């Protein structure tokens, strides 16, 4: 175990999934809240139901895209960090010689 690492740390995939779900839920809620006011313009109840359904569907899609993008960015950053750390160990004598 690395120095400074907690014994109760979650595996990487759990932390990435939790972060992605949190970001996706927040984006979904914000997208729905910011767009829902534009649905009450015409006064027809049928049109409002369609508008509300459309806003909800699009908000869910935007949230899902944000969650996937968050996971991709975080995993890319972790991968680059590990790659840089392994190159440092190899270049400065901390790992096996090539």
Cβ burial of 64 (10 Å; 0-12, 13-18, 19+) is: middle
Q: What is the pLDDT of residue 2?
A: 55
pLDDT in tens, the chain (98 residues): 455 555 568 899 999 999 999 999 999 999 988 887 777 765 566 667 888 888 899 999 999 999 999 999 999 999 999 898 887 777 776 555 54
* Ranges of each domain in the chain: 14-90
Dist CA 20 CA 63 (whole Å): 9
Dist CA 27 CA 62 (whole Å): 7
Q: What is the pLDDT of residue 1?
A: 46
């Amino acid at each position: 175990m690395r120095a400074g690492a907690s014994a109760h740390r979650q595996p990487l995939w759990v932390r990435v999934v939790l972060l992605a779900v949190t970001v996706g839920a927040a984006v979904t809620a914000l997208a729905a809240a910011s767009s829902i006011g534009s649905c009450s313009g015409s006064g027809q109840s049928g049109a409002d139901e369609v508008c509300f359904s459309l806003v909800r569907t699009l908000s869910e899609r935007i949230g899902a895209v944000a969650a996937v993008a968050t996971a991709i960015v975080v995993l890319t950053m972790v991968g680059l960090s590990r790659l840089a750390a392994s190159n440092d160990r190899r270049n400065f004598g901390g790992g096996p010689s090539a």
